[in-house]
Structure formats: C-alpha cells, structure tokens
Structure 1
Amino acid sequence: MNVLSDAWGWLTTAGNWHGSDGIPVRFLQHFEYSIEAVLIGALIAFPLGLLTGHTKRGGLVVSSLANVARALPTLGLVVLLVVVLGVKFSAVMIPLVALTIPPILLNTYEGVRHVDPQLTDAATGMGLNQWQVLWRAEVPAALPLILTGFQFAAVNAVANTAIAAYSSFGGLGRFIIDGLATTDYGEVAGGAVLIVIAAILNLLFFAVLRRLMVSPGLRPRRTATV
C-alpha cells in the first residue's frame, strides 16, 4: 500500500505536471513513439497480410516472419543497436516496429484468408476485379480481426516504448529509469501507472474505432445468460 500512496503522492504533485520533463510532455512523447512504430509496422505488415490472405499463399512465410519478430528480445536488441548505431532514435524504433509486425501481419492474413468464399464468389459474379473484391468484400468482412491485430500492435508499442528511456530518449519510461536511479519509488510506481493508463486509453480508442468502422452485422452479439 505504501507504493500506491507514494505513486499517488507523486502523481498529485503539481511540479510533476509542468516543464519539459513534466507528465503531459512525457505522455505526448510516449504516444508519438508508439504511433510511429505502429505506422511503420503497418506499412510493412498490412500489405503483406492482404496479399498473402487474398491469394491464400505464403502462410508459412507469414508465420515464420511473425514468429521471428515475436522472438526478438526487445531490450537486448535496443542495447545491441545502441552499441552498433550509437544513441539514435532508430536504435529504439527498430525493436518497437518488430513488435508491431506479428499481430498486424497474422491477423490481416487470417482475417482475409478466412472470408466466406460465397462472399467473394458473389463479388466476382457482380463483375468486380480482384482488387475490388479485396477492398470491397474481403477487407470489410475481415475488419474486426484486422482491427484486433492493430490493437494488439498498439498495446505492444505503448507497453514497450518505456525502453526508449534506456537510450536517453523520453516517454513515460523516463520516470521509471530516473526514479530507480534516485530511489524515488513513488516516481517509479507513478510512471508505471501512467503506462497502464496509456494502454487503457489505447484500448478505449480501438473500441470506439471498432464501433465506427465495423458493420453492425459483424460485431459480436451479446447473449443473455441465465
């Protein structure tokens, strides 16, 4: 309980909310790093998932790439890249991007691949070409699973962006590193709480996005329980 009270005391200290090292600035830095990682990962994984899912080929390659990316030790890779590249933003971004690729790639591939063949046959029968079948039939039908992949990627990025602090960059992880260095465990716990809040905000964002983008007929229905 002392840790929680220390965290609350640190979070409610007005001085921690102001200046270039304040909570709002670190929050924005954290989300900036996370969003960049997801966007770069999506540029790599989303087209590949669409292509392999639509053609129903390359499943082994997709699984292998995703498993390799998932097996990378994030912190160890950051340390290695800092040694090789120096203290550069790319040393942090490469491991973060690697974490975002597996969920986007696998969910896009599986979502498009398992679209009901009757739907694609009907779209083809209406005269749509393969590109139109993909974007007008397969992607909308696979959208719930695709968004889930993006959600997992975003949560992974938010949770692991704390490693940016190890290579002298900002973000909420800075509070944890600085707190450990000064034995200020209220700051450490406060930083951890802020990262959890960032992850929850991420989940809420995707819940709203799913509500706006996914057709009502594709949303999971709640059933009454007795």
Structure 2
Amino acid sequence: MNLFLDGIAWILDPANWSGPGSIPQRLWEHVSITALVLVIASAIALPVGAVIGHTGRGREPAVRVSGGLRALPTLGVLTLFGIWLGIGLAAPIIALVILAIPPLLAGAYAGFESVDRRTIDAARAVGMLESQIVGKVELPLGMPIVVGGIRSATLQIIATATLAAYVANEGLGRFIFEGLKTRDFPQMLGGSILVIILALVIDGLFAVIQRLVVPAGVRASRTRELRSRPTRSRAVVGQPIIEGNQK
C-alpha cells in the first residue's frame, strides 16, 4: 500500500510535469506511437477483412494467419527487429503493427459477416451495386463490431507500446525501464499507473463511439423489442388450486 501511495505521489510531483522527459512529453509520445501503429495496421487489416467478410472467401487462411500472429511473442519480435534495424522507433512500430493486425482483421470480417444475408439479397434485388452494398448496407450495420476490433487493437497497442522504450527513448515505458535500472520503484509504479489510466480513458471513448455508430433504425428496433417484452411472466395454465380436500 505504501508503494502504491509512493507511485501516486510520484505522479503528482510537479517536478515530473515539466522539462525534458516529463509526464506530458512521454504521454504524447505514447499516444503518437499508438495512433501511428493503429493507422498503419488499419490500412492493412481493415480492407482485407472487409473483402473477406463481403465475399466469404479466404476466411480460413485469415483465421490461421491471425492466430499465428497472435502467438508471436511481442518482445521477441521487437528484439529481432531491433537487432536488424538498430535503435529507434522502426522496430517497435513494426512489432506493434504485427500485434494489432489480428484483432483488426477479425473485427472487420466478423462485422461484415454479421449482416443478415437476407438484407444483402434485398439490396441486390433493388439494384444496388456491390460497392453500394458495402458502403450503405454492410459497413453501417457491421460498424459496431468493426469498432470493437479497433477498440481491442488500440488497448493492446497502448499496453504493449511500453516496450518501445526497450529500443527507443519514447513513451511511458521509459519511466518503467529507467525505474528498473535505478531501482526507483515509485517511478516504475507511477509509469504503470499512467499506462493503465490512459488505457481506461481510451477504452471509455471507444465504448461511447461503439454506441454512437449503431444505426438509428437498429437502435429503434431494439427499443421496441425491449418495450414489447412482458414485464412479468405469464401465469401457468393448468388446473385451478382448490383449498381443502376435494371429494
């Protein structure tokens, strides 16, 4: 408990909020790395996932590739690219992109596959083109699941981006590695708490976004279903209960 309070005290210390290597600087670096990795991974995974979900082809290879990428140890991949590319942000960015692709890919094709096939057939029946079906039917209806995949990937990136300080002087992970070297445990705990707070804040924002992207018609239908449900269970149909002995 005392160590936890020491970590909080380290965060609240005004000396850690100004100058080079301050909390705002490290926080901005961490968010910048996360945003850059998310943009790169999304540009790769989301179009592929959309094509798979729309056409229904290539799902099994995509699942196998996603599973294989999930099994890769991030620290090992980071070390491998660090030896190859040297000190800098290139190695952690590549490692984090590899980590972020599986949830993005899974969220994309799951979101498109979640759309009722009868809805898509109806869209084709009225003469909509395939591009219109993707943009006006599948994408809006599957967007909550797609955003869920982006949400999952973002949280994984935020948590794992602390390893960027392993080969680069960037991000909140720098507090953890510096504290480990100098045995400054309040600094280590303070850096960990900052990563947790950042992850919770971003998760809350994505939770709001995930609610907002639900189409208005879907929200209305859900509301009607909830209102139409009986508040009490129906009475059991059967023989009436008669008190006393029946002759």
Q: Same fold (TM over 0.5)?
A: yes
CA distance in 1, matches of 2:218, 2:72: 34
Q: How many residues align?
A: 226
Distance in 1, Cα, partners of 2:16 & 2:134: 49
Structural mapping, 1:20-39, within 5 Å: 20-39=20-39
Question: 1:27-84, CA deviations, whole angstroms, 9 ceiling, x for partnerless residues?
Answer: 1100100111111110110000000110001011110111121111111111111111
Aligned residue number for residue 178 of structure 1 = 178
CA distance in 2, matches of 1:217, 1:180: 53
Q: Which residue of 2 aligns with 1:57?
A: 57
Kindly indicate whether the alpha-carbon contact (under 8 Å) linking 2:88 and 2:168 is maintained by their aligned counterparts in 1.
no
Unaligned runs of 5+ in 1: none
| Mapped pair 1:97 → 2:111 | no
Q: Distance in 2 between matches of 1:19 and 1:72?
A: 37
* Equivalent position of 2:6 in the other structure: 6
> Aligned AA for 1:165?
A
In the superposition, relative to structure 1, how do residues 18 and 154 fare at CA in structure 2: closer, same or farther (>3 Å)? same
Alignment of 1:94-173 (within 5 A): 94-173=94-173
- Tell me if structure 2 keeps the 8 A contact 1:144–1:218: no
**Higher RCO (Cα < 8 Å, 6 or more apart):** 1
What per-residue deviation string (whole Å, max 9, x for no partner) do you get for residues 121-168 of structure 1? 111122110111011101111111101000000000000000001002
Q: How many angstroms apart in 1 are the aligned matches of 2:196 and 2:202? A: 10
- Partners in 2 of 1:53 and 1:19 — Cα distance? 49
Aligned residues: percent identity? Answer: 36
Greater gyration radius: 2
Checking the alignment, whether the CA contact within 8 Å between 2:29 and 2:170 is kept in structure 1 is yes
How many Å separate the matches in 2 of 1:105 and 1:141? Answer: 17
RMSD: 1.9
Contact 1:48 1:105 in 2 (8 A): yes
SS at 2:183's partner residue?
coil
1:189, distance to aligned residue in structure 2 (A): 0.4
Matched, 1:68 2:73: no
- C-alpha displacement of 1:208: 2.4
Aligned residue type for 1:211 = R
* Alpha-carbon distance in 2 for matches of 1:4, 1:195: 15
* 8 Å contact from structure 2 (residues 180, 188) kept in 1: yes
In the alignment, structure 2 segments of 5+ residues that lack a partner are 233-247
